[in-house]
C-alpha cells in the first residue's frame, strides 16, 4: 500500500511541475508518464521556442537532436544545458505553439552546470532560490516592483518571521509569476514582490481562486511551515487556503 501511495504522490508532483500551466493543458497524448532518471545528459541548444509558461529547446547530444521542455527560461542558441530527470510525452500537442511533438522530454532538473549532484546552477523557472520542492536550485528573479500593503507583510518578512507567523493569516501584495490550476483540488500560485530574505523571494500560495501570470494580486492566507507533500517535495514556508484578489492583469 505504501508503495502505491508513493507512486501516486510522485505522479501528482509531476502534474504540479508539468501540468502545462493552462497553455498546453489540452490535446496531448501521454504514452509514458513514469519519471525517468538516467545519467547526466549534456546537450547544446540548437533551437528555441517560447510559450507564456514554457521554453521548448531542440537540443543536440552525441549528434542526435530531440526536444525538451522546461519552465520558461532565458537562454540562447548555442548554450550548453544538462539534465538527468525527465518525463517523456509522445504525440504531445502544444496549443500555444500550434505544434505537435513526436516526443518531448519534460525536464525536472535543467542546469547550466554539469554538476547535478549538488544541484548548483539549476534553473527551474520561478521557483524558490533555496528550494524547489525540496531540491536546491538557483531561480530566476523577475523584475517586480509593487507597493507593500500597510496592513500586510512582504514576502521577505513572511520568510524571516515564518516560525512566529505559522498558523496566522497574513496579507501580501505581489505579482503572480506562475499559476497551476486544479492540482490536488486547489490552484497553485507563485508570488514575487521584489523583496528577498537570504535568497528566498518566491512564495507559494494554494487557493481556490483564479488568477493569471503577470497579475498583481493581494493574497490573504494562513502561513504554514515545513510543508511536506511526500516524495521529498517540501516547502519551508507557504500560504494555504488563500483568498486571491486581482488588482491588475496583464
- The dihedral sign for the CA sequence 218, 223, 226, 228: negative
Q: Tens digits of per-residue pLDDT, 12-41?
A: 555 555 544 444 543 333 334 344 545 789
The residue that leads in pLDDT, 249 or 233, is 249
- φ, ψ of residue 237 in degrees (nearest 5): -140, 140
Q: Is there a common fold for 2-107 and 155-248?
A: yes
| pLDDT over 50 (residue 119) | no
CA nearest neighbour of 51 among 93, 108, 4, 102: 93
Domain 155-248 annotated CATH 2.40.50.140? yes
Tell me the three cell numbers of residue 72: 520558461
Contact 134, 233 (CB under 8 A): yes
Domain boundaries, the chain: 2-107, 155-248
User: Residue 64 CB: number of other CB atoms within 10 A?
Assistant: 8
**Taking the model in full, what pTM does it have?**
0.50
Q: What percent of the chain has pLDDT over 70?
A: 71
Tell me the three cell numbers of residue 233: 517535495
Q: Tens digits of per-residue pLDDT, 193-212?
A: 999 888 888 999 999 999 99
Question: What is the arithmetic mean of pLDDT over 150-155?
Answer: 96
- φ, ψ of residue 217 in degrees (nearest 5): -135, 160
CATH number of 2-107: 2.40.50
Cα separation, 7 vs 181, whole angstroms: 21
Q: How far from 112 is each of 31, 125, 200, CA to CA, in Å?
A: 29, 13, 21
pLDDT for 164 = 96
The residue that leads in pLDDT, 149 or 109, is 149
Amino acid at each position: 500500500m505504501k508503495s502505491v501511495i508513493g507512486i501516486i504522490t510522485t505522479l501528482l508532483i509531476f502534474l504540479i511541475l508539468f501540468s502545462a500551466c493552462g497553455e498546453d493543458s489540452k490535446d496531448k497524448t501521454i504514452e509514458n508518464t513514469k519519471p525517468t532518471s538516467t545519467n547526466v545528459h549534456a546537450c547544446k541548444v540548437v533551437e528555441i521556442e517560447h510559450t507564456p509558461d514554457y521554453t521548448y529547446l531542440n537540443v543536440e547530444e552525441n549528434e542526435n537532436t530531440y526536444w525538451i521542455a522546461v519552465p520558461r527560461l532565458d537562454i540562447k542558441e548555442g548554450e550548453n544545458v544538462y539534465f538527468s530527470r525527465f518525463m517523456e510525452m509522445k504525440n504531445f500537442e502544444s496549443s500555444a505553439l500550434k505544434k505537435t511533438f513526436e516526443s518531448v522530454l519534460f525536464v525536472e532538473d535543467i542546469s547550466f552546470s554539469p554538476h547535478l549532484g549538488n544541484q548548483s546552477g539549476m534553473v527551474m523557472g520561478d521557483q524558490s532560490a533555496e528550494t524547489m520542492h525540496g531540491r536546491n536550485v538557483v531561480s530566476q528573479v523577475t523584475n517586480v516592483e509593487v507597493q507593500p500593503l500597510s496592513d500586510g507583510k512582504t514576502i521577505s518578512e513572511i520568510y524571516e518571521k515564518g516560525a512566529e507567523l505559522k498558523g496566522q493569516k497574513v496579507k501580501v501584495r505581489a505579482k503572480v509569476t506562475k499559476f497551476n490550476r486544479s492540482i490536488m483540488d486547489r490552484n497553485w500560485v507563485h508570488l514575487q514582490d521584489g523583496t528577498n530574505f537570504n535568497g528566498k523571494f518566491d512564495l507559494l500560495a494554494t487557493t481556490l481562486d483564479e488568477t493569471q501570470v503577470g497579475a498583481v494580486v493581494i493574497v490573504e492566507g494562513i502561513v504554514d511551515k515545513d510543508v511536506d507533500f511526500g516524495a521529498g517535495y517540501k516547502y519551508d514556508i507557504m500560504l494555504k487556503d488563500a483568498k486571491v484578489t486581482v488588482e491588475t492583469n496583464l
